[in-house]
Amino acid sequence: MNRLIADLFQLSKLEARQMDFDIQPVSTEDFIRYFDERYELELAGAGLRFETVAYSLRPEAHRQAIVKIDMDRIDQVLTNVIYNAVKHTPRGGLIQLHFIVDEHSLVVQVQDNGSGIDPEDLPYIFDRFYKKDKSRNTAGGGSGLGLAIAKEIIDYHGGRIWAQSRVGQGACIAFALPLVKGGE
């Protein structure tokens, strides 16, 4: 219950744009280095295989690529998304974290090979309190607010977040953060 209240409080503050963000320039290299190792131990502990892949679609510009972000908030987004993947993927499953630097953005994809998301649910998973199966999911302790909070945080950064899925084959939640123009 405390978690629910804390999440709701945070979401309200985000929606009212009353949340303080500590925005700092971070190179995509530092970003990838940090998140590459961030979840390894936890996921191994959950009995899941974990892979990370990073690549650039513009190799020569990779080094100068910068995002302006609040690291703690982006960490919160990724933690929410990965925690969802863990909840919906059976032991022995695979979670892949992809980092792609393209012309305009840093794209982060979390792909799992768990239960997936029904096509009719896909448009709503970023809505507040949206939960597929309330009775089944309460054990996971989710508030139904995790992805709504993630979307607000990514919106604040001028990015976007989306989901793709095939039922029975897994889900992919991805977000894109805009690169600072001109490499700064």
Which of these segments, 25-33, 39-47, 138-146, 175-183, binds ligand ADP (CB under 6 A)?
Answer: 138-146
Q: Out of 69, 74, 143, 175, name the contact with ligand ADP by CB under 6 A.
A: 143
Tell me if 150 sits within 8 A of 135, measured CB to CB: no
SS3 50: strand
Nearer Cβ to ligand ADP (65/150): 150
Count of residues engaged in binding ligand ADP, rule: CB under 6 A: 22
User: Taking CB under 6 A as the rule, does residue 84 contact ligand ADP?
Assistant: yes
Q: Out of 21, 130, 156, 162, name the contact with ligand ADP by CB under 6 A.
A: 130
**DSSP H or E run through 77:** helix 71-87
**DSSP H or E run through 57:** none
Q: CB 78 → ligand ADP: shortest distance, Å?
A: 12
Residue 73, both tokens: 């908030």
Nearer Cβ to ligand ADP (67/85): 85
Q: CB 49 → ligand ADP: shortest distance, Å?
A: 15
Q: CB 169 → ligand ADP: shortest distance, Å?
A: 11
Residue 155, both tokens: 């919106």
Angstrom distances, CA of residue 158 to CA of 102, 104, 123: 16, 12, 20
Q: How many CB atoms lie within 10 A of CB 56?
A: 18
Q: CB 53 → ligand ADP: shortest distance, Å?
A: 18
Q: Out of 26, 69, 106, 171, name the contact with ligand ADP by CB under 6 A.
A: 171
Bridge pairing between strands 94-101 and 105-112: antiparallel
User: What residues does 49 pair with on adjacent strands?
Assistant: 94
Q: Out of 11, 32, 97, 112, name the contact with ligand ADP by CB under 6 A.
A: 112
Phi and psi at residue 116, to the nearest 5°: 80, 180
Q: CB 181 → ligand ADP: shortest distance, Å?
A: 32
